[in-house]
């Protein structure tokens, strides 16, 4: 069939075939099947159909993260049903409320590895492209079918290649790159496409910045995202997997690297785009669409009531460090609330150990339990009608955070922290002017 993209190679591997064609529909057996708080609803359908046993419980990964701690009796009952299902089915990879957001947790646990396939009942499963895995969101009924049979069909997506060159300047982040892509190509620009990044710019990005990009591609309509894994990725995963399994780090690293997949040099792409990272500037998505994006300089000065740093897109240590660097020795504006929710318990503990949380609390921030927080409007920071939110989250459509009459702006954690400080949308470079400090310098 000729040269293959990453998506073709990953799907072919999961299908047990040497190669697949673009647009072909094939049956695949994913390495991992993921769900979260929606597990209870899927389990109810599963049992209602007369099914009793999951085909392969060792391939299931279940995390409680969307409503933790449970804000209502209904949510608490939902969690109780999930715990019963996990016990009945013998699911070993279960992560309790407080461990963190599913995508972050599965990455930290080094369960998913380069070249593998994970299908999850969450749209941001594109996240696992950061390590060169095929991650795709699927519906609840698809997860039910995967539980029952271990397999499902996928259509092989066409691919888009985005080449990155250079390095991000101080005060500009991977979130700004994602927002720039959405502005240029639209929120549906990657619809059911494999968005495959390439170029020297990828190697210049931190591990956590790569997670931001792959995760955020869900808002681009992508079926999956892909960043080519390198030595830093293999090392990051090997250290965690060896710690969990007790295997020698070197042997684990070699095994991970051997399983990685890369597109053929002459693979065919539907479209190709190029970005120079050093030419980017801070960007902001304005209400009420993720592709309603403007340079920050065009919206600077807009009043802010609530500032939120967290979610599976931007709740990692790098993000909290950026906020701490900006707010160190300062206080947030008197009429602003700043909410910071780490993406996982590991991030929380490390941020505590390094003193970031003390800095943020002294600045007036509230710290939440690791999880999704107010991202989907369940609890822990829902805005009042008429309020303006600046968030490091991934979505800003009307009512996303539980209040249809609130306005949500999306930006990087550095912009969110600077805006909380001034009480209006602010460029972090303006706050740090003269200090010559990288917002991530505390790392």
Two structure tokens written together for 206: 């931190």
DSSP-based helix, strand, coil % in the chain, nearest 5: 40, 20, 40
Beta strands at 193-198 and 158-165: parallel, antiparallel or unpaired: parallel
Q: How far apart are CA 64 and CA 120, in angstroms?
A: 14
pLDDT in tens, 166-210: 999 999 999 999 999 999 999 999 999 999 999 999 999 999 999
The DSSP symbol for 400 reads T
Asked whether 60 and 93 are in contact (CB, 8 A), the reply is: yes
The segments of the chain whose pLDDT lies below 70 read 434-443
**What does the pLDDT read at residue 436?**
44
- Residue 110, CA atoms < 13 Å, CB-side half-sphere: 20
Q: pTM of the entire structure?
A: 0.96
Q: How far apart are CA 413 and CA 398, in angstroms?
A: 21
**What does the pLDDT read at residue 401?**
86
Q: What is the mean pLDDT of the chain?
A: 96
């Amino acid at each position: 069939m000729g040269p293959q993209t990453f998506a073709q190679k990953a799907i072919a591997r999961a299908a047990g075939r040497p190669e697949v064609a673009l647009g072909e529909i094939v049956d695949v057996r994913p390495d991992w099947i993921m769900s979260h708080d929606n597990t209870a609803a899927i389990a109810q359908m599963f049992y209602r159909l007369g099914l009793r046993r999951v085909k392969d419980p060792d391939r299931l990964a279940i995390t409680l993260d969307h409503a933790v701690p449970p804000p209502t009796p209904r949510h608490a009952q939902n969690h109780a049903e999930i715990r019963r299902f996990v016990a009945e089915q013998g699911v070993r990879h279960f992560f309790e409320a407080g461990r963190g957001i599913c995508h972050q947790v599965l990455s930290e646990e080094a369960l998913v590895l380069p070249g593998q396939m994970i299908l999850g009942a969450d749209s941001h499963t594109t996240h696992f492209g950061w390590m060169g895995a095929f991650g795709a969101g699927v519906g609840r009924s698809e997860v039910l079918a995967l539980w029952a049979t271990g397999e499902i069909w996928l259509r092989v997506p066409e691919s888009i290649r985005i080449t990155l060159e250079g390095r991000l300047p101080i005060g500009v982040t991977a979130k700004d790159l994602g927002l720039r892509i959405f502005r240029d190509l639209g929120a549906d620009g990657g619809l059911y496409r494999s968005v495959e990044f390439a170029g020297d710019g990828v190697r210049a990005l931190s591990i956590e910045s790569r997670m931001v990009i792959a995760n955020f591609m869900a808002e681009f309509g992508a079926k999956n995202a892909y960043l080519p894994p390198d030595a830093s990725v293999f090392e990051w995963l090997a250290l965690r997997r060896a710690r969990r399994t007790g295997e020698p780090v070197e042997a684990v690293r070699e095994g991970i690297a051997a399983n990685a997949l890369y597109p053929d040099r002459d693979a065919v792409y539907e479209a190709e785009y190029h970005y120079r990272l050093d030419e980017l500037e801070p960007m902001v998505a304005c209400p009420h669409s993720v592709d309603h994006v403007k340079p920050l300089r065009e919206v600077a000065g807009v009043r802010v009531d609530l500032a939120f740093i967290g979610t599976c897109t931007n709740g990692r240590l790098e993000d909290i460090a950026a906020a701490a660097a900006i707010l160190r020795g300062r206080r947030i504006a008197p009429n602003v609330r700043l909410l910071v929710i780490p993406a996982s318990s590991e991030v929380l503990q490390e941020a505590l150990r390094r003193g970031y949380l003390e800095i943020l609390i002294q600045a007036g921030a509230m710290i939440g339990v690791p999880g999704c927080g107010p991202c989907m409007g369940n609890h822990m920071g829902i805005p009042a009608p008429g309020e303006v939110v600046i968030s490091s989250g991934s979505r800003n459509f009307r009512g996303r955070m539980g209040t249809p009459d609130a306005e949500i702006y999306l930006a990087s954690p550095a912009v969110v922290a600077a805006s909380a400080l001034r009480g209006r949308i602010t460029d972090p470079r303006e706050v740090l002017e003269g200090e010559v400090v990288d917002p991530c310098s505390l790392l």
